[in-house]
Structure 1
Amino acid sequence: MNPRKLLAFFFFFFFRRFSSASAENLSFDFPSFNFRNLTFLGSSHIRNGVVGLTRDLPVPTSSAGSVLYNSPVRFFDPDSNTTASFSTRFTFSFSNLNPSSSGDGMSFFLSPNNQTLGSSGAYLGLLNSSLPTLNHFIAVEFDTRQDTHFSDPNDNHVGLDIDTLISIKTADPIDQDVDLKSGTAITAWIDYKNDQETLKVYLSYSGFKPETPVLNVGIDLSGYLKEVMYVGFSASTEGSTELHEIENWSFRTSGFVPKRPTLHPHNVSDTYVIVSPRLPAPEKGHKRRLGLGLGIAGPAFFCVALVVFGYVSVRKWREVRRVKSFKAEVVAGPRQFSYRELRAATGGFHGSRIIGHGAFGTVYKAFFVASGTIAAVKRSRHSHEGKTEFLAELSIIACLRHKNLVHLQGWCVEKGELLLVYDFMPNGSLERVLYQESEEGNLLDWPHRQNVAIGLASVLTYMHQECEQQVIHRDIKTGNVLLDGNFNAKLGDFGLAKLMDHDKSPVSTLTAGTMGYLAPEYLQYGKATEKTDAFSYGVVILELACGRRPIERIPDCHKMVNLVDWVWGLHSEGRIIDAADQRLAGEFDVEEMRKLLLVGLSCANPDSSKRPTMRRVLQILSNEAEPPAVPRVKPSLSFSCGVSLSVDDIVSDCDGSLTSSMCEIVVN
């Protein structure tokens, strides 16, 4: 074969081999759940390996939640014009302490985007009540409330929905002795056969698939199945206490046939006939030498080209591997922004765009012209020193979903910089609103203060007790509590947060945090626990109630006043209400203020064993439990080593600027 044709053949083969891509069937199986490979929206959460889509909230509170598989699933292959079939199996249960308030139900859905979260109530977390045409989906609903608005036949039915909750067809599982509201675990199978144009739903209390489906719909979904879609579950409640939980889940697609690379005969000939021309001897010798030269040079050139191609491929593979390794560290989910995009949105990180500073670095206000949205961009001070905090914040908050957490939009690692992109909070931090803006006349009123206290208790309950791995924040303070447009609390700045298993002992580390918010035992031993977070929360609550900073210098005096000691002193004199923020001018409920102050003191108790859990705090503030009993005299602070300290002793060597600065303290 001519070397030139040989080289062309090899290049053609390799490029055809690497450039040809075909759709592949996908399958995954979750015998139990963790945060990896899943996206949680709204009220959804994980507890003991079980996904909860809604929460046990007091009546008449409503909730909605969604959980989706992180990666998009291919349902259509444009090259072969093939639509996939799919099947899924999952075990779920609906439980309710008050059956009379049951509703609304759950759905398994396919959606073109991974942010599908609708409204609570009859909308099953699928549709937005104000924009009903916004979300597109294919869903199988398991409905436990009859909503005439959506033509529901009863309060116990299964239905197929496409872009609307008015079902194409419904069926009553009670015909097969399956009650969705029984509280018993139910296993569901959903099978769609594209070649047969049928979708079938099976239900059973056992793990054995019944022979007869509950719902059998003749339908061609090829017109609705996009090239790639996301799969997941959603659920909602409306003034009810129904819990929707999923214990396991498996999913697979089928019907895609892998392509085989084809060669086109007209490009490369399969047979060659070598004809020896009758030429004079000198000419023949010249041609022979030329042929020999080409025979050597051709393969040599091919080898060089192959080496270059291999070198470039290896370098690219290593780069992809490095990026994938980094992405694995931070957990897939949030969007990866480009540095150019963030630089343009922040005006080149201009000083006029700075809206705050934190432990991680500087925060900028970003305007994204293309989408017309505003965000907050956190930029690391030091690319190397900040990487630990960067990875900590990103890997932790990317896994968390709670209405009182700052939403992480994305991240960027380019130009030696580490950047995080968050939702912009129009009202800034609680610290600024409580102190700086109040000086300008924008006072935070009492209902908003109560709402902040409850919201912060709710998110800490979630972090401490409802996540698969307990999250200890370690730097709870008014500067890290942000306020949205409605003054709802959003906890942020996870640069110092730690993940711990619920059954593991706390790990001793170098003490880090902000003076005035650090628990005494944390200063002594450097062990971060949920109790140290509770102490910091107590200080924030006292700030909310009193309008004072944790440590303040008395005017015209060098003496420092500790907020916890000051409030406890008034409590010991029986006049704790005098600690209320004077700027409120008495415009608050006295008993609610007393309760808030007592909760703050209880959480800030020097004895960590006497501090309530955040779940208990949430119950107290939600009027589901009695206020805590707080001793009149503040307990003394003592350690096993025999050292007796007071909070004044701890901060006596620190100046007044410590309330807003980071401290690292080692106590021997």
Structure 2
Amino acid sequence: MLNHSLYDKALMNRELSKPTSVFGLPLRVVVGIFVGAVIVLVLFLLSLCITSRRRNSTSNRRKRNFEKTQTLTLADTKDIEEIAHHESSSAVDRRPPAVEIQIGIGKREHRVVFSDRQSSGESRGTSVETASYGGGSGVSSLPEVSHLGWGRWYTLRELEAATNGLSDENVIGEGGYGIVYSGVLGDDTRVAVKNLLNNRGQAEREFKVEVDAIGRVRHKNLVRLLGYCVEGAYRMLVYEYVDNGNLDRWLHGEVGDFSPLTWPIRMNIILGTAKGLAYLHEGLEPKVVHRDIKSSNILLDRQWNSKVSDFGLARLLNSENNYVTTRVMGTFGYVAPEYACTGMLNEKSDVYSFGVLIMEIITGRSPVDYARPQGEVNLVEWLKTMVGNRKSEHVADPKLPEMPSSKALKRILLVALRCVDPDAQKRPKMGHVIHMLEADDLLFHDERHTWR
């Protein structure tokens, strides 16, 4: 039996070893090649099937994205509903999906990389290629950025029409991170349009900061952000137009021998600015630290009411937290000493800047003026010296049409000096500053009446 089995195996090996007509290859080799070819063919067919399914899926996704883009394009000219506190719980969350746009089109100075991350830190970045915007009948594709839930989403065409094509003649302000243009919308609304420029990555950060900080904020002493434009390489912010320009112009510009800023007007500007800052520090959660309080960022309307503007450097902080940074931001002369030295930032940094602003409004002097004698270059140190030498009556702006009483001047100087205390813990909160200013305002009124 065993011999018979061995005989069969030997016979089979002999048959498989016989050469065939296929290049004289043994039968076993030909069979192996055939089996291998069948396996390859099966794998190839499976690959084709999977590729076909993926193509169909991609095609469907592109179709949905195209339909979504068309919907967004049609919605551009419509007002975006403002989210109010009394909205029902079924309201749709309209925060934009996380988008990363890397674009190399448009004017070189307008090229930016915009990044909007989810709060969890995860990104759903989607690369978007956008055609160059142009007039005529061409339509530029829009990035997939949904409504933010407040204000209005303006198109680039609307804002270019409002500002005469971002004309130099419409420029009303220019800073390190953007150019501000005056404009008139189609409904005759006057606006100020800030076109953010790419300055070492600041453009997209400033856009996000301003939207987060004051997008939904409404206060009479804060400049209102009406809406925004995110289109192609452009990042624009649209503000309410404030008629009388900024405070710096009226304090340090050519206004003649006597300034239109009377003592009561100056006190009203100080009080209004204090109320705006108090709302940022104590009326919001998280609180907002402005970081760049200065006269050029205080706008004035026709009634000389003050409005705090330019939140591009602002920080959002939790109630009990400080923020430590290795990069100090702000304007020389206004920056709190502990922030400049250690990078420790909280609302007391704004209080210091506000104290410097009070001194600037009272004296008509710049915080730092190298054209003055050595002992008068730094406004804070000079004013401390004058008060210490009992010469406070000589610090008031000589362009004031009427000088305040000695007591009124001393009381407002006391508020300013408390705000610039070298020890940040000893500086008052803005709510306490308002209390002092409003109490003084009654005193100022009585004293003006008696003095006259």
Q: Give the TM-score taking structure 2 as reference length.
A: 0.66
Residue deviations 1:385-427 (CA, integer Å, cap 9, x gap): 3100111011111132211000111100113011111111111
> Tell me, what secondary structure is at the counterpart of 2:270?
helix
Aligned equivalent of 2:308 = 491
Aligned equivalent of 1:552 = 369
Match of 2:385 among 569, 579, 582: 569
> Tell me, what secondary structure is at the counterpart of 1:591?
helix
Aligned equivalent of 2:204 = 387
Aligned equivalent of 2:46 = none
> Tell me, what secondary structure is at the counterpart of 1:344?
helix
> Tell me, what secondary structure is at the counterpart of 2:321?
coil
Q: AA paired with 2:366?
A: R
Offset of 1:586 from its aligned partner? 3.9
Residue 504, structure 1, aligned to residue 255, structure 2: no
Match of 1:431 among 245, 248, 260: 248
Offset of 1:440 from its aligned partner? 7.6
Aligned equivalent of 2:425 = 609
Residue deviations 1:594-633 (CA, integer Å, cap 9, x gap): 2211111111122212211111110000007999xxxxxx
Aligned partners of 2:370 and 2:377 also within 8 Å: yes
Residue deviations 1:282-331 (CA, integer Å, cap 9, x gap): xxxxxxxxxxxxxxxxxxxxx9999745432145559989954469xxx5
| Paired residues, number | 322
Aligned equivalent of 1:312 = 63
Offset of 1:560 from its aligned partner? 6.5
Q: AA paired with 1:533?
A: D
Question: Which deviates more, 392-401 or 437-446?
Answer: 437-446
Residue deviations 1:467-513 (CA, integer Å, cap 9, x gap): 12111000000010101111100001000000011022333341010
Aligned partners of 1:553 and 1:559 also within 8 Å: no
Residue 599, structure 1, aligned to residue 432, structure 2: no
Offset of 1:574 from its aligned partner? 1.3
> Tell me, what secondary structure is at the counterpart of 2:292?
coil
Offset of 1:338 from its aligned partner? 0.4
Residue deviations 1:64-102 (CA, integer Å, cap 9, x gap): xxxxxxxxxxxxxxxxxxxxxxxxxxxxxxxxxxxxxxx
CA separation in 2, counterparts of 1:406 and 1:464? 16
CA separation in 2, counterparts of 1:551 and 1:382? 29
CA separation in 1, counterparts of 2:97 and 2:329? 31
Q: Could you say if the C-alpha distance between residues 319 and 444 of structure 1 is closer, same or farther in structure 2, counting changes exceeding 3 Å?
A: same
CA separation in 1, counterparts of 2:411 and 2:222? 25
Q: Could you say if the C-alpha distance between residues 466 and 509 of structure 1 is closer, same or farther in structure 2, counting changes exceeding 3 Å?
A: farther
Offset of 1:336 from its aligned partner? 0.6
Aligned partners of 1:360 and 1:390 also within 8 Å: no
Residue deviations 1:322-347 (CA, integer Å, cap 9, x gap): 954469xxx52121100000011111
Aligned partners of 1:359 and 1:495 also within 8 Å: no
CA separation in 2, counterparts of 1:314 and 1:591? 68
Question: Which deviates more, 317-326 or 396-405?
Answer: 317-326
Question: Which deviates more, 356-365 or 492-501?
Answer: 356-365
CA separation in 2, counterparts of 1:320 and 1:339? 17
Q: Could you say if the C-alpha distance between residues 513 and 452 of structure 1 is closer, same or farther in structure 2, counting changes exceeding 3 Å?
A: same
CA separation in 1, counterparts of 2:58 and 2:330? 54
CA separation in 2, counterparts of 1:571 and 1:304? 79
Q: Which structure has the highest strand share of the two? A: 1
Larger Rg belongs to: 2
Match of 1:365 among 182, 187, 193: 182
Q: Could you say if the C-alpha distance between residues 484 and 625 of structure 1 is closer, same or farther in structure 2, counting changes exceeding 3 Å?
A: closer
Q: Could you say if the C-alpha distance between residues 560 and 622 of structure 1 is closer, same or farther in structure 2, counting changes exceeding 3 Å?
A: closer
Match of 2:173 among 356, 366, 376: 356
CA separation in 2, counterparts of 1:618 and 1:365? 33
Offset of 1:348 from its aligned partner? 0.7
Residue 476, structure 1, aligned to residue 227, structure 2: no
CA separation in 1, counterparts of 2:273 and 2:57? 60
Q: Could you say if the C-alpha distance between residues 604 and 439 of structure 1 is closer, same or farther in structure 2, counting changes exceeding 3 Å?
A: farther
Aligned equivalent of 2:234 = 417
Residue deviations 1:409-461 (CA, integer Å, cap 9, x gap): 11001130111111111110010111114248553111110001101111111
Q: Could you say if the C-alpha distance between residues 350 and 333 of structure 1 is closer, same or farther in structure 2, counting changes exceeding 3 Å?
A: same
Aligned partners of 2:192 and 2:241 also within 8 Å: yes
Match of 1:582 among 398, 421, 425: 398
Q: AA paired with 2:438?
A: S
Aligned partners of 1:437 and 1:443 also within 8 Å: no
Aligned equivalent of 1:284 = none
CA separation in 1, counterparts of 2:359 and 2:387? 13
Aligned partners of 1:471 and 1:499 also within 8 Å: yes
Matches within 5 A, 1:55-66: none
CA separation in 1, counterparts of 2:187 and 2:392? 50
Q: Could you say if the C-alpha distance between residues 559 and 381 of structure 1 is closer, same or farther in structure 2, counting changes exceeding 3 Å?
A: farther
CA separation in 1, counterparts of 2:251 and 2:441? 28
CA separation in 2, counterparts of 1:397 and 1:362? 19
Matches within 5 A, 1:103-502: 308-314=59-65, 316=67, 323-325=96-98, 331-368=148-185, 370-382=186-198, 384-439=201-256, 442-502=259-319
Q: AA paired with 1:593?
A: L
Aligned partners of 2:225 and 2:238 also within 8 Å: yes
Q: AA paired with 1:418?
A: R
Aligned partners of 2:258 and 2:399 also within 8 Å: no
CA separation in 2, counterparts of 1:367 and 1:489? 22
Aligned partners of 2:351 and 2:430 also within 8 Å: yes
Structure possessing the higher relative contact order (Cα contacts under 8 Å, 6 or more residues apart): 1
Offset of 1:381 from its aligned partner? 1.4
Matches within 5 A, 1:16-55: none
CA separation in 1, counterparts of 2:211 and 2:183? 19
CA separation in 2, counterparts of 1:419 and 1:606? 38
Q: Could you say if the C-alpha distance between residues 443 and 606 of structure 1 is closer, same or farther in structure 2, counting changes exceeding 3 Å?
A: same
Residue 520, structure 1, aligned to residue 337, structure 2: yes
CA separation in 2, counterparts of 1:351 and 1:318? 32
Q: AA paired with 1:345?
A: A
Q: AA paired with 2:384?
A: W
Q: AA paired with 1:311?
A: R
Q: Could you say if the C-alpha distance between residues 413 and 539 of structure 1 is closer, same or farther in structure 2, counting changes exceeding 3 Å?
A: same
Residue 618, structure 1, aligned to residue 434, structure 2: yes
Point out where structure 2 has 5 or more consecutive residues left out of the alignment. 1-53, 73-94, 101-147, 444-452
CA separation in 2, counterparts of 1:448 and 1:590? 18
CA separation in 1, counterparts of 2:440 and 2:258? 35
Q: AA paired with 2:367?
A: P
CA separation in 2, counterparts of 1:417 and 1:536? 32
> Tell me, what secondary structure is at the counterpart of 1:452?
helix
Percentage of pairs with the same residue: 36
